[in-house]
Structure 1
Amino acid sequence: MEALLTLSFDNLSSRDTSRIRKGLRQIEGLLAQIALSSARLSPHKRRKSSAINDNNNNNHNVKQAECKKLGELRRDAAFREFFRLQEGFRWNVASRLIATLERLMGLHSASTTDLVILSTLDLLQGVLLLHPPSRTLFNREDYMNLLLDLLDASNPPKIQSQALLVLVTALLANPKNTRTFETIDGLLTVTSLFKSRSTAKEVKMRTLEFLYFYLMPEAPPTTSASAPNTVAALGLQRSPSKLQQSKQQALAGHARTHSGDSDRMDIDEDGPKATKTTDDKQRLLGRHLNNVAELVQDLQENAVFGGAAAA
């Protein structure tokens, strides 16, 4: 697995979009082998869905497989090995994808570049779901700003929509990330996008979904915030020694920043973190939007996201 990650990271570090696409397909193939069941695939199709296969039919074959359940992932040796590798900076896929996004956004805008950005965002969302501790990368303001930059009106609607999905995933079960989002005027960015007449209808719908999600009350993590409840259910919580090792690797390997912050990948969220209720968030959001009370009422009465919001 390390050899494949090394190969894909080499491709992702290129400024050639064709090589970046190749690196993305390699990682996508690896994750497909881990997260999808190949029981219904013939040996020929399983070979086609190999992580190092660049065939365009790869996505079609992968979609025919069934997603593994959490219980299956818990017993899957490949998933446990992938999860273990993600704990350190060297093999962390999310950090490489974020760096790839930064590089792509610095290239001249073109339809091919936009497609690669879209693929990178899609893959980043999947990685953040498979390895929740990687979400803590977005404690950093420069990384959170990267997602907000993708909501700019100059970007295509599909990129804006996918950036909103990644933003939701980055904030999921992570109050500290939400505080970072609020600190850098994320609410102003999202509400401005929602209110703009030039915003596409599909993006407005994604923005509305995000606002409902944001208004949900937060609960302090019952486990280490670097290992959310999903991770605990899998029996893959990080031990203190592993956490310390990850810190040391991050300090040694993450020297470049954009905001002048310390040169580390902050993956430690131990200790009390401020959480907010729906009422708290309603007051904040009300500074930028007029009909927040109606959103809250709808959230509470219709049990959006499968559960009623408690103030």
Structure 2
Amino acid sequence: MESLLSLSFDYLSSYDGVKVRKGLRQLEGLLAQICLSRNNSGQQDRRHSIAVTGNGANGDRQPPKDLGQLRDDPAFREFFKLQEGFEWNVAMRLTLTLERLLSRSSTGANDLLLVSTLDLLQGALLIHPPSRSLFAREIYMNLLLDLLDPTSCPAIQSSTVLVLVTALLERPKNIRCFERVDGLLAITSLFKNGSTGREVKMRVVEFFYFYLMPETAAGRGAGNLAGPQRTPSKRSGSGRREDETKTTNEKQALLGRYLSNVEDLVEDLRDSSFGAVLA
């Protein structure tokens, strides 16, 4: 697995778009291999080939494992262990790839690479929740906000919103970072921009609902496949813990600075199946 990751990372570091795409396809194949079920040795060999070459047809796809199977799978546990170190962390490499791609001129080919990188980053953050800690740092949170620029193509904007939700999931410290770097201003500006398409606006509305939900401290939810791994809190200079959670009412007040109908969103949440947790 280390050799495949090393080869993929080398491709991702290239300035050649073709090589970057190859690196992305290799990582996609590896993640697919980890998350798909194993029915027989021939299928395992086929998926290994897909992981190495990045090739495969829809007919070769296998049903995904459920979370219980994934947690106990040797390949997943090996991958998870490798992600704990900087050298093999996929989310970190994909974030650096985003940074390089964003610095290039906007072209159709580059936009496709950005979307593919964002989709893989979301997957990496779901498979290895501790990697979400990257986005407690302002430099990486600002990178996501830059991708929400109104001049970005709709596909990039939609994929970025999905990554943002995943990066904030069960990470109060990340949410505080998002608020601190004016993330609420960035995403509400995108929503209110007249050039923003309907599909992107729907994604943003979904983000608003997610943001307004009561927060769960890191390691206490079901998203951490390896089990609870809570790090002791650190206090900021103001005496407030950096990972301290906020209530729906507190976040409603913050979002209300930029959006006029936040009360309606909260009321919708109370009337939905999530009403119990908001009560």
TM-score by length of 2: 0.91
Question: Residue 112 of structure 2 aligns to a residue in which SS?
Answer: helix
- The structure-2 alpha-carbon separation of the partners of 1:172 and 1:47, relative to structure 1 and needing over 3 Å to count, comes to closer
Residues in 2 aligned to 1:135 and 1:96: alpha-carbon distance in whole angstroms: 13
- The structure-2 alpha-carbon separation of the partners of 1:200 and 1:235, relative to structure 1 and needing over 3 Å to count, comes to closer
CA positional deviation for 1:237: 5.5
Kept in 1: contact 2:136–2:173 (CA 8 A) = yes
Aligned to 1:253: none
Kept in 2: contact 1:150–1:160 (CA 8 A) = yes
Q: Could you report, residue by residue, the CA deviation over 1:10-31 in whole angstroms, capped at 9, with x for unpaired residues?
A: 0000011110010011111111
User: Aligned residues: percent identity?
Assistant: 58
Aligned to 2:166: 169
Kept in 2: contact 1:278–1:309 (CA 8 A) = no
Structure 2: runs of 5+ lacking an equivalent? 234-240
Residues in 2 aligned to 1:293 and 1:40: alpha-carbon distance in whole angstroms: 54
- Within the candidate set 272, 275, 278, 2:248 is matched to 278
- Within the candidate set 100, 118, 124, 1:103 is matched to 100
Q: Could you report, residue by residue, the CA deviation over 1:232-258 in whole angstroms, capped at 9, with x for unpaired residues?
A: xx44556xxxxxxxxxxxxxxxxxxxx
CA positional deviation for 1:73: 1.1
- The structure-2 alpha-carbon separation of the partners of 1:207 and 1:36, relative to structure 1 and needing over 3 Å to count, comes to same
Structure 1: runs of 5+ lacking an equivalent? 239-267
User: Is residue 2:198 matched to residue 1:201?
Assistant: yes
TM-score by length of 1: 0.82
Q: RCO higher in 1 or 2 (8 Å CA, sep ≥ 6)?
A: 1
User: Is residue 2:86 matched to residue 1:89?
Assistant: yes
Aligned length: 271
CA positional deviation for 1:122: 0.3
Kept in 2: contact 1:299–1:308 (CA 8 A) = no
Q: Could you report, residue by residue, the CA deviation over 1:50-79 in whole angstroms, capped at 9, with x for unpaired residues?
A: 211133x45x246x3111011111221000
Kept in 2: contact 1:49–1:61 (CA 8 A) = no
Aligned to 1:36: 36
Q: Could you report, residue by residue, the CA deviation over 1:198-224 in whole angstroms, capped at 9, with x for unpaired residues?
A: 11000000000000000001133465x
Residues in 1 aligned to 2:27 and 2:48: alpha-carbon distance in whole angstroms: 14
Residues in 2 aligned to 1:160 and 1:74: alpha-carbon distance in whole angstroms: 31
Paired residue type of 2:167: A
Aligned to 1:230: 223
Aligned to 1:301: 271
Paired residue type of 2:245: T
Paired residue type of 2:278: A
CA positional deviation for 1:269: 4.2
